[in-house]
Each structure stands twice: as structure tokens, then as C-alpha cells.
């Protein structure tokens, strides 16, 4: 039975200050076991790995933009002192649809051979072409919902300062996928973002159904981000000064 799957769900954002602002959109995401990609590429007509497809996954869309994502993740984990002993690495992200992809956040679930989590990586992209990945080893119990924190390192929203801390809550996807990110500044909670999705087996039929529901998935996500920015401007929020991406592409945090 494949560990990879497709998750239909809802992404929501709630900004708490200085004006409350909410958004809620339906999307789909894929969970891809990096070791299963060659088999998925061969078995599915509508999915391509490092090649075109109705939906596709390209290693170079992630981390250091090379063609061997598994090796990149393993190298980053080794630098952080995490040894998975060959356990699976599974990535929750939006795929390319008709050749185009944009992922505000992708999550890598790095498992030990017994299935427990050894680390998570939160790969964040902004709309200015910047990217940063937060690698956080999993300490203590590694089952169910885990809580992790780290300081913000990448400028994402032009309406938020850099002096913030992220609080992640996430569970390794099974029948359901769950991710929540709370952003805190010096005054406390400022924003809450989340995704909840329900699993469907990854098949050509499931891909066709997801495409029919979201034919321009990533373009729609980018359009929604800019439309919500217009709404925030109309509510009187001020633009904050930006900052270049950090020199270190992958930062390790000890939450």
C-alpha cells in the first residue's frame, strides 16, 4: 500500500491585529514519499516525476533546486545531527498543475524505520522569490500532534515585522492531514494559519477529480494572496520594511 496520497482540504488564515481579517479557501495537496516517486511516475499516466504531467513533482522546485531531493534532505539532517537510519521522508506540498507550482509552505516528515518522527522541515516561500527552510528535530514523544517553535527568518507578508516567532502544530498525515502555524510578535498572537485535509488514494482518477475542482491551483493561490493584500491595504494596514532571505538556506532550530 502506497504511503503517498492526495489530500482535499481547507486552508484558513486569521489575522488578529490591528484589524481582524479572515480568509478560507479549498485546495488539495499531495503527500509524496520520496522513495516512491519513480514507481508513481511509472504507474500513473497523469502524474510525472521530474517530467510534465497533468500534475507533477519536480525535485528542483524545492530546497536547493537540485534533482535529488532525498539526498538534499539527508545531508541537511546529517548537519543537524539527525540520523533516520534509512527511514522514509514524506513531503506534504501542492504539486505542479499544468507545469506551474507555488507553495507558501511545504512540510517534510522525516521518519525513523519504526515510523516515529525524527525531524520536520518547514519550507517557506514568499511571493518575492525568497525561500527558507526551518529544520526542527523532534524531541520527546513523536506520535500524534507535535508542537515546535522557531524564530522567523524569512520576510513573507509585507504587513508583518520580522521580529516574530512561529509556533507549529503538526501531525504526520494518515487518513487526515493537519498543520497549524501561529505567528507571535512582542504583543502575542498575531496570525493563525492552518490546513486540514482528508486523504484519498493517489490514482489517475483522483488526480483527474482534483484537477477538475482546482484546474489552476497554484495560480489561484497566488491570486488569492495578492487579493487579500489589497483588502488589508483597504483596511488601513501599513507596509512593513522587507529583508533579504537569510544566507543559510536551511536553518536548524531546537524547539
Give pLDDT tens digits for 211-229.
999 999 999 999 999 999 9
Q: pLDDT value at position 255? A: 63
14-28, 158-172, 238-252 — which is least confidently predicted? 238-252
Q: Is the confidence at residue 234, as pLDDT, over 90?
A: yes
Q: pLDDT value at position 63? A: 93
**60-92: per-residue pLDDT in tens?**
999 988 889 999 999 999 999 999 999 999 999
pLDDT band at 113 (very low <50, low <70, confident <90, very high): very high
Q: Which positions ≥6 away from 209 have C-beta within 8 Å?
A: none
User: Cα(first)–Cα(last) distance of the chain, in Å?
Assistant: 33
E runs forming strands in 72-217: 89-93, 96-97, 105-111, 117-125, 131-137, 146-151, 165-171, 176-185, 188-201
**151-173: per-residue pLDDT in tens?**
999 999 999 999 999 999 999 99
CA 20, distance to chain mean position in Å, is 24
Per the CB < 8 A criterion, the answer to whether 169 and 146 are in contact is yes
Q: Is the confidence at residue 244, as pLDDT, over 90?
A: no
Look up the pTM and report it: 0.95
What would the grid cell of residue 139 be? 524531541
Q: pLDDT value at position 143? A: 72
Bridge-partner residues for 189, per DSSP?
Answer: 184
Q: What is the DSSP letter of 100?
A: B
User: Quick one: average pLDDT of 36-46?
Assistant: 97
Q: Is the confidence at residue 231, as pLDDT, over 90?
A: yes
pLDDT band at 141 (very low <50, low <70, confident <90, very high): low
Q: Is the confidence at residue 142, as pLDDT, over 80?
A: no
Q: Is the confidence at residue 28, as pLDDT, over 80?
A: yes
Q: Where are the domains of the chain?
A: 5-252
Q: pLDDT value at position 242? A: 81
Amino acid at each position: 500500500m502506497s504511503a503517498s496520497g492526495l489530500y482535499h482540504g481547507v486552508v484558513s488564515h486569521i489575522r488578529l491585529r490591528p484589524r481582524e481579517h479572515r480568509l478560507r479557501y479549498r485546495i488539495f495537496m499531495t503527500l509524496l514519499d520520496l522513495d516512491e516517486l519513480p514507481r508513481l511516475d511509472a504507474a500513473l499516466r497523469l502524474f510525472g516525476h521530474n517530467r510534465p504531467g497533468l500534475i507533477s513533482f519536480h525535485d528542483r522546485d524545492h530546497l536547493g533546486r537540485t534533482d535529488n531531493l532525498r539526498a538534499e534532505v539527508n545531508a541537511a539532517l546529517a548537519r543537524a545531527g539527525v540520523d533516520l537510519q534509512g527511514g522514509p521522508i514524506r513531503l506534504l506540498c501542492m504539486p505542479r498543475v499544468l507545469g506551474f507550482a507555488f507553495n507558501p509552505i511545504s512540510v517534510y516528515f522525516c521518519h525513523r524505520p519504526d515510523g516515529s518522527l525524527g525531524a520536520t522541515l518547514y519550507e517557506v516561500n514568499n511571493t518575492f522569490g525568497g525561500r527558507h527552510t526551518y529544520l526542527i528535530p523532534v524531541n520527546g514523544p513523536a506520535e500524534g500532534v507535535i508542537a515546535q517553535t522557531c524564530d522567523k527568518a524569512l520576510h513573507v507578508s509585507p504587513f508583518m515585522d520580522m521580529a516574530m516567532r512561529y509556533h507549529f502544530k503538526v501531525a504526520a498525515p494518515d487518513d487526515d492531514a493537519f498543520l497549524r502555524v501561529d505567528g507571535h510578535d512582542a504583543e502575542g498572537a498575531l496570525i493563525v494559519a492552518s490546513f486540514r485535509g482528508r486523504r484519498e488514494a493517489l490514482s489517475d482518477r483522483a488526480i483527474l477529480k482534483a484537477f477538475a475542482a482546482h484546474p489552476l491551483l497554484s495560480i489561484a493561490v497566488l491570486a488569492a494572496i495578492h487579493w487579500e493584500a489589497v483588502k488589508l491595504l483597504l483596511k488601513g494596514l501599513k507596509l512593513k520594511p522587507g529583508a533579504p532571505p537569510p544566507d543559510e538556506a536551511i536553518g536548524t532550530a531546537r524547539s
